[in-house]
Structure 1
Amino acid sequence: TPSLKVEGVRSRGGQVVLQGESFPHALAHALALADSQGATFVPPFDDPDVIAGQGTVAMEILRQHPGRLDAIFVPVGGGGLIAGIAAYVKYLRPEVKVIGVEPQDSNCLQAAMAAGERVVLAQVGTFADGVAVAQIGAHCFELCRHFVDEVVTVSSDELCAAIKDIYDDTRSITEPSGALAVAGIKKYVARTGAQGQTLVAIDSGANVNFDRLRHVAERAELGEQREAVIAVTIPECPGSFRAFCLALGKRQITEFNYRYYPGRQARLFVGVQTHPQHDPREALLASLGGQGYQVLDLTDNELAKLHVRHTVGGHAAPGASERVLRFEFAERPGALLGFLERLGKRWNISLFHYRNHGAAQARVFAGLEVPDEELAGLPQALEAMGYPYWDETDNPAYRLFMG
């Protein structure tokens, strides 16, 4: 449970008991406490009264929008919300579709509807913690199996993109489970090509820890198919970076990670801006492949996106005379290529990291192999480039991890 929820309960005088690794463990402990203390257990979703209470959301929707309504998209965890909405909507407006939306790694309703009975998921993803439930509620499933039209599942990246959409549209920030329905609408429309329809999304929560927004922002572009993450093999020689940037054409580079190690080939971890309609990922891969580059698509590789992109590197090659520097320059399309053009081919690049954060200034961390006899002329050459720079060769962080 996010600390925001925990602190919210405590701030209102409630006692918080944290038990178990997931909802089933917490539920079992809560039931045991209620039994031993003679307390009343209030179910979060699997109870007729709770289902009816959540169904009043549908009452508000139909009252506020009496006109044409094609479908209502509902986030699904234990199923109380969608069960109540579906029962109410299908009684009054049976022509309106009720569509559930679940994370791909927490799809207990979709699995139950496919099996015709409740199932227990072997593993539940926790990115959308508000719907991280391994089994749909019993009362909930009896209603859902009759009144829910279909279930759509979405990825974590698609959830991040939906959080961004909601923020752009309303300036409000939702938690991942709160953005499920919007992500579901986007996937439904992309799949069906629906046009001119009235679709409603239930935005069900904003309990997100602030520090999680870093991850959301990092992955939103991937969820919108506006960024591709690739591994590229290039010749290990001066000028190969520039040649690769030229091969990309006018595409904006969003990230560039590299660490030199002796050999004939260099491997780059690169993020490239794409567009789902005008310049899709497939066109990028085909273009680079057609120019002779060996490319591996990592856009759907969780290990690459979560960890490898931040750990590309290692220590300097034995005997290398390396100077490491930070640069800043105005961020615009082609800015990275312009930087490499000014850097020229005089020194071999042994380390490189660049990430486009949407800010006005781009930041580059680079290592240059500069022979001892040329060190005296390095400051003058760097000044001639015209970029602000900082020599970080003696920085203890570099010395410890990469020097």
Structure 2
Amino acid sequence: MKQAIDTAADALRALFPPTPLQFSEHLSARYGARIHLKREDLSPVRSYKIRGAFNFFRKILATEGAPSRFVCASAGNHAQGFAFVCRHFGVEGVVFMPVTTPQQKIDKTRAFGGDFITIRLVGDFFDVCYRAARDHAETSGALMVPPFDDPDVIEGQGTVAAEIVAQLPDGETPDLVLMPVGGGGLSAGMTAYLDGVLPPEAFRFCEPLGAPSLRASLEEGRVVTLDSVDNFVDGAAVARIGDLNFEALRRFAAGQVIVVPENAICVTIIHMLNVEGIVLEPAGALAITALDALAPDAVEGKTIVAVVSGGNFDFERLPDVKERAMRHAGLKKYFIVRMAQRPGALKDFLAMLGEEDDIARFEYLKKSARNFGSVLIGIETVRPENFRRLKDAFDAANLTYQDITYNDILSNLVI
């Protein structure tokens, strides 16, 4: 496959130059390593998905009797890559998206495809949208372009690895390569290209905690369909890894899959935006976040490549991302407090707060109680240890309270 991927990489230059392999001074100093970021967020569609779509179209259009109409189902990066390539080749494409797709993503897809694509909004969930796209393909004769489970798509995604090899400084070989995993097309293509260049133990596969389809499949020794997924990391929230991709990856150990909590990804998004000025989508932050899960001796002094898979971040999500980041970092907590209904009770409570504590939310949950009332209080601080002091003050005052920060049921109901 290596030669085929090299050919695909050469052809891809008709669309855009290689994305940068950027040495990160900041991350290298932080982890005591030499860390390079493969900046797929700087492709024309701000993700690597354009590679697989281009290679699929390039090869199918070179065949005799190739179709002139194509279709895909996607609410994100695959749709944008598909649209860009449709315009490049001058072919007609239909993009099926869920009705719930943010307008920003719809507008970007339309901008990339121009007059060559039609967007159809169908269903509230992706599965409904995908079935509609399949039905359209069968009835119209359009060819379905898969997002990841296809040999030509895998080959196209593998061009990321071809560029990395060419871009590394002379004599430098990575000790670790960290790749985000959704459907598995990127990791299948990259590992195929790097087979024989790097040992199998050099690879780490990064999945969100709410959608560990590769990890579950490697543990079972077969493709596993997850019962449910957390869609927060929308670029990697896949319930079932591709069949072809699993066959390519089944030689790796389940322990090489790093499962990353969604809230930890939020910390990375905020940190990279504030410190490096890099805008990352949740899936794009997966590989960087996974560095925290590695043992120090696996990182220190090593040369590491982390694939930043995309930067299509909807800034309307920023308040939620910041909120989740602060909670994960221990800088924000929510309490339900049983507060006495008497003059001065609120003043007494405020006196318990330290100089670095701030009330971010205050809401009575029960106003009709005669003697005590339940109050939802959100508190932000600048150091996690401040909450230990605050809880000690609550206990000393015999205050009845419950920390609901990590109680998903309660917090989803009242926060």
Task: State the TM bucket, normalised to the shorter chain.
Answer: 0.5 to 0.7
Structure 1: state its 5+ residue gaps. 310-403
| Superimposed CA distance per residue, residues 247-276 of structure 1 (whole angstroms, 9 cap, x where no aligned partner) | 343441242413344332233322334577
TM superposition shift of 1:142 = 1.0
Give the alignment partner of residue 139 of structure 1, picking from 244, 261, 285: 244
Structure-2 separation of matches of 1:261 and 1:184? 48
Amino acid at match of 1:128: V
Shift of residue 177, structure 1, vs aligned partner: 2.2
Compare CA radii of gyration and give the structure with the larger one.
Answer: 1
Hey, what's the Cα distance between the residues in 2 that align with 1:23 and 1:146?
A: 30
Task: Report the CA distance shift for 1:254/1:42 in structure 2 as closer, same or farther (over 3 A).
Answer: same
Structure 1 residues 263 and 87, CA gap change in structure 2 (3 angstroms): farther
Change (3 A) 1:88 1:230: farther
CA–CA distance in structure 1, aligned partners of residues 300 and 394 of structure 2 = 35
Assess if the C-alpha contact under 8 Å between 1:274 and 1:280 holds in 2: yes
Give the alignment of 1:139-178 within 5 angstroms: 139-147=244-252, 150-178=256-284
Query: Within the alignment, does 1:270 sit opposite 2:386 as a pair?
Result: no
Q: Indicate which of 135, 139, 150 corresponds to 1:47.
A: 150
Distance 1:251 1:9, change over 3 A: closer
1:64 aligns with 2:167: yes
Counterpart contact for 2:283–2:310, Cα < 8 Å:
yes
Aligned to 1:117: 222
Which of 104, 112, 116 lines up with 1:4 in the alignment? 104
Contact 1:71 1:200 in 2 (8 A): yes
The 5 A counterparts of 1:93-104 are 93-94=198-199, 97-104=202-209
Percent of aligned positions with the same letter in both sequences? 33
Code of the residue aligned with 1:182 in structure 2: it is: I
Change (3 A) 1:283 1:48: farther
- Whether the 8 Å contact between 1:185 and 1:199 is mirrored in structure 2 is no
Task: Give TM-score, length-normalised by structure 1.
Answer: 0.67
Report if aligned partners of 2:180, 2:187 keep a CA contact under 8 Å in 1.
yes
Structure 1 segment 333-372 matched on structure 2, within 5 A? none
CA contact (8 A) 1:177 1:205 kept: yes
Name the counterpart of 2:394. Answer: 288
Asked if 1:299 corresponds to 2:400, the answer is: no
Distance 1:247 1:283, change over 3 A: closer
| Pair 1:216–1:247, CA change in 2 (3 A) | same
Aligned-pair distance for 1:92? 0.7
Measure the CA separation in 2 of the matches of 1:275 and 1:115.
43
Deviates further, 219-228 or 64-73? 64-73
Alpha-carbon distance change, 129 to 65 in structure 1, aligned in 2, over 3 angstroms? same
Structure 1 residue 136: deviation in Å?
A: 0.5
Residues 6 and 103 of structure 1, relative CA distance in 2, 3 Å threshold:
same
Deviations 1:13-33 (A, max 9, x none): 211233344444444433333
Q: Which runs of 4+ in 1 moved over 6 A?
A: none
The 8 Å contact of residues 87 and 147 in structure 1, kept in 2 or not, is answered as no
For 1:130, what is the secondary structure of its paired residue? coil
Distance 1:196 1:10, change over 3 A: same
CA gap 1:10/1:62 in 2 versus in 1, 3 angstroms = same
Question: Are 2:196 and 1:91 aligned?
Answer: yes
Contact 2:354–2:390 (Cα < 8 Å) also in 1 = no
Q: Which residue of 1 aligns with 2:65?
A: none
Asked whether the equivalents of residues 257 and 269 of structure 1 are also in contact (C-alpha less than 8 Å), the reply is yes
**Equivalent-residue separation in structure 1 for 2:123 and 2:239 (angstroms):** 14
Distance 2:301 2:399 in 1: 43
Partner of 2:285: 179
Instruction: Check the 8 A contact 2:183/2:240 in 1, yes or no.
Output: yes
- In 2, Cα distance between the equivalents of 1:104 and 1:28? 27
- Cα deviations by residue, 1:51-91 (Å, 9 ceiling, x for unpaired): 12212212323333353633222222111112222333343
Structure 2: distance between partners of 1:256 and 1:132: 31
| Distance across 2 between alignment mates of 1:3 and 1:189 | 41
The equivalent residue for 2:335 is 230
Secondary structure in structure 2 of the residue aligned to 1:105? coil
Is the 1:74–1:201 contact (alpha carbons within 8 Å) kept by the matching residues of 2?
yes
- For residues 104 and 61 of structure 1, what CA distance do their matches in structure 2 show? 27
Determine which structure has greater relative contact order: mean sequence separation of CA pairs < 8 Å that are 6+ residues apart, divided by chain length.
2
Contact 1:90 1:96 in 2 (8 A): no
Aligned with residue 126 of structure 1, among 217, 220, 231: 231
1:76: which partner in 2? 181
* Aligned amino acid, residue 373 of structure 2: A
Preserved contact between residue 254 and residue 271 of structure 1 (Cα < 8 Å)? yes
Contact 2:175 2:302 in 1 (8 A): yes
Change (3 A) 1:294 1:19: same
Alignment of 1:377-392 (within 5 A): none
> What one-letter code is carried by the residue in structure 2 that aligns with 1:298?
I
**2:261 maps to amino acid:** S
Aligned residues of 2:360 and 2:380 also touching (Cα < 8 A): no
Aligned-partner Cα distance in 1 for 2:175–2:389: 35
Whole-angstrom distance in 1 between the partners of 2:193 and 2:387? 42
Given that residues 352 and 390 in structure 2 are in contact (C-alpha distance below 8 angstroms), is that contact kept between their aligned partners in structure 1?
no
Among candidates 230, 241, 255, match of residue 360 of structure 2: 255
In 2: Cα distance, 1:58 partner to 1:285 partner: 50
Q: Deviations over 1:193-238 (max 9, x none)?
A: 9544444332222223332223222322113232222222233323
